Amino acid sequence: MAEISQRVGGNGARSTEPGTVAHWGQRRGTLHDADGLIAGPGDPSAGGPRPGDPCIDGGTQGPEVGAGGLGAGTGSNAALRGVDQPLRVLSPDGSPTGASDPPYPALLGPEQHRQMLTDMILTRRVDAELVDLQRQGQLALYASCLGQEAAQVGVAAAMRAQDWLFPQYRELGMLVARGVDPVGVAMMWRGAYHGGRGLLERHTSPICIVVGANALHAAGFALGVRLDAADEVVVASIGDGALSEGDVHEALNMAAVYEVPCLFVVQNNQWAISVPGRVQTKSATLAHKAVAYGIPGIRCDGNDVLATYSVASDALRWIRAGGGPVLLELLTYRRGAHTTADDPTRYRGDAELERWAALDPIDRYRRHLVAEGIWGEEEERRAASVADEAAAHVRAEVCDAADPSATGLFDLVFTRPTKELERQRAQLERELARRRS
C-alpha cells in the first residue's frame, strides 16, 4: 500500500515520498529555530509587520495602529485599521495623500509599477473581450471584474509565487497578475474545460463557484500548510455577499482559532447581484467583523492599487511571521453586471455608476505614474499593444474551439472508473453511434 504516499493528480505541494514529512512538532521547531519567528498575534515584536509601515494614510486612519503593526495588543484585542476612512495612498486624482513618505513601499521599482499598471490595463481589455465573446455566443456566461482591477492586481502582486490563491469567479485580474493565461479562464466560461486551465501551475485553486466555499477550503489548505511547516500563505478571495454566508463565518472563526496562515480578502464591490451592501450587514464596515474573530481587520481603498498592494503586503508579512489570519476589506465597486445573465439597470441608477467611474482605478494609477515620470506615451502604447494582443489571443483560441468529447463526460467523476460509469459510458457511445449513422 505505497499508493497513499504517492501524490495523486495535481494535488498540492506536500511531499511525495513516505517518510519525508517529519513530524509536525519537529518541523515547527525547525521553523522557529531557523527563523526565530515566535510571534503570535500577541507578540509582534519578533518579525511581525513593522510599526509605521509607510503605506498608510496616517492622517485619516481610525484607531491607533500601535507599536506592533497589524495585531498590536493581544490576540483577543485585534487591531482595526481604516474603518473611519479606508486606507489610501493615492487620492482619486492620482496625487499622493501625503500622509506618508514615500507614499508607497520603496520596494516597488519603476518596472514593478509598470507591470502592475500593464496588468490592470490588460485585465480590463481582456475582460471587455470576454463580455463581447459572450454576447457573440462564444461563451455561455461571464462575470466581469470591470472596476475592480486595482483590488485584484494589488493583492496578487503582493503574493509570492509559492503562496496559494483561492479565487471566486470574478477574479480575472488576480489570475492575470498571477501569470495564468486568460485563455484558460475563457475556456472555463466556454465550457471547454472545467475550473479554468493552467491554475495549478500558478498555485491557484479551481475557480470557486459556490459563494464562500473557497474560504473554507483556503482555511483547510492553510491548516495543511501549517502542519507541513511550508513557507506558504493562502489567500481566499471573497466578496461582500460571501461574507454573509455562514460558511465564511465558520471559516474565519476556525482559521482564527487555529491561527492558520490565511489572508481573507473581501472585495467589497457593494452589490451581490441586486442586493446592496446595506442589506448584507448592520456592521459599520466589513472589517469590523474581524473584531469578533479576534484577528486584525483592515479596510482599504480597493481602487487604489498602491494602498491595496501595501496593505496586502503588510498582512502577508504578518501572517508569514506567525500572526494568524487577517481580514482585509477592499472597498471597490462592481461596474459591470453580476454576470452576463444579469441586467443591473433594473436595480441601480446611472448616478452611482458615474460616481464610481470617476474613481476609476486605472486612471488614478496612470496619473500618478505619469506625474512620477514612470509612465509616458511609449509605456501607454506598449501596454495597449500587450492588452490588445492578449485579447486577440483569447479571441483566436476561444472562437469556435472544439467541444470536448461527449464521452469524456464520465472521466472526472472518480479517479478510478466504476463499473456503473463504464456501463453508462458504453450506453452513451452506442447512442452517439446511432445518431451518427
From 50, 135, 160, 347, the catalytic residue = 347
Given the complex with another protein, which of 203 and 334 has the nearer CB atom? 203
218 binding another protein? (CB under 8 A)? yes
Out of 50, 135, 160, 194, the residue judged to bind another protein by CB under 8 A: 194
Least distance (Å) between residue 417 CB and another protein: 10
Given the complex with another protein, which of 142 and 164 has the nearer CB atom? 164
The residues in 10-39 that bind another protein, with binding defined as CB under 8 A, are 10-14, 18-19, 21-25, 28
223 binding another protein? (CB under 8 A)? yes
Out of 46, 141, 200, 353, the residue judged to bind another protein by CB under 8 A: 200
Is 327 in contact with 297 (CB distance < 8 Å)? yes
219 binding another protein? (CB under 8 A)? yes
Out of 222, 233, 326, 383, the residue judged to bind another protein by CB under 8 A: 222
For another protein, how many residues bind (rule: CB under 8 A)?
A: 65
Three cell numbers written together for 262: 490565511
Annotated catalytic residue 113 = no
- x-or-dash pattern for another protein, window 231-270, by CB under 8 A? ---------------xx--xx-xx--xx------------
Given the complex with another protein, which of 141 and 384 has the nearer CB atom? 141
Q: Under 8 Å CB-to-CB from 18, ≥6 apart: which residues?
A: 2, 5
Least distance (Å) between residue 57 CB and another protein: 35
205 binding another protein? (CB under 8 A)? yes
Convert the chain into a string of H (helix), E (strand) and C (coil).
CHHHHCCCCCCCCCCCCCCCCCCHHHHHHHHHHHHCCCCCCCCHHHCCCCCCCCCCCCCCCCCCCCCCCCCCCCCCCCCEECCCCCECCECCCCCECCCCCCCCCCCCCHHHHHHHHHHHHHHHHHHHHHHHHHHCCCCCCCCCCCCCHHHHHHHHHHCCCCCEEECCCCCHHHHHHHCCCHHHHHHHHHCCCCCCCCCHHHCECCCCCCCCHHHHHHHHHHHHHHHHCCCCCEEEEEECCHHHCHHHHHHHHHHHHHCCCEEEEEEECCEECCEEHHHHCCCCCCCCHHHHHCCCEEEEECCCHHHHHHHHHHHHHHHHCCCCCEEEEEECCCCCCCCCCCCHHHCCCHHHHHHHHCCCHHHHHHHHHHHCCCCCHHHHHHHHHHHHHHHHHHHHHHCCCCCCCHHHHHCCCCCCCCHHHHHHHHHHHHHHHHHHC
Is 157 in contact with 178 (CB distance < 8 Å)? no
Out of 153, 159, 174, 199, the residue judged to bind another protein by CB under 8 A: 199
Residue type at 415?
T
Is 237 in contact with 174 (CB distance < 8 Å)? yes
Q: How many CA atoms lie within 13 A of 375 on its CB side?
A: 23
216 binding another protein? (CB under 8 A)? yes
Annotated catalytic residue 194 = no
Annotated catalytic residue 338 = yes
Out of 33, 354, 377, 415, the residue judged to bind another protein by CB under 8 A: 415
179 binding another protein? (CB under 8 A)? no
209 binding another protein? (CB under 8 A)? yes
Out of 42, 75, 224, 344, the residue judged to bind another protein by CB under 8 A: 224
58 binding another protein? (CB under 8 A)? no
Residue count (the chain): 437
Is 137 in contact with 189 (CB distance < 8 Å)? no
Out of 58, 179, 206, 344, the residue judged to bind another protein by CB under 8 A: 206
From 170, 203, 217, 334, the catalytic residue = 334
Stretch that binds another protein, among 51-59, 112-120, 205-213, 372-380 (CB under 8 A): 205-213
Out of 193, 359, 370, 428, the residue judged to bind another protein by CB under 8 A: 193
Given the complex with another protein, which of 176 and 254 has the nearer CB atom? 254
Least distance (Å) between residue 221 CB and another protein: 4
Stretch that binds another protein, among 5-13, 35-43, 136-144, 154-162 (CB under 8 A): 5-13
Catalytic residues: 334, 338, 347
- Contact residues: another protein, CB under 8 A: 1, 3-5, 7-14, 18-19, 21-25, 28, 164, 166, 193-197, 199-200, 205-206, 209-210, 213, 215-225, 227-228, 246-247, 250-251, 253-254, 257-258, 411-416, 418-421
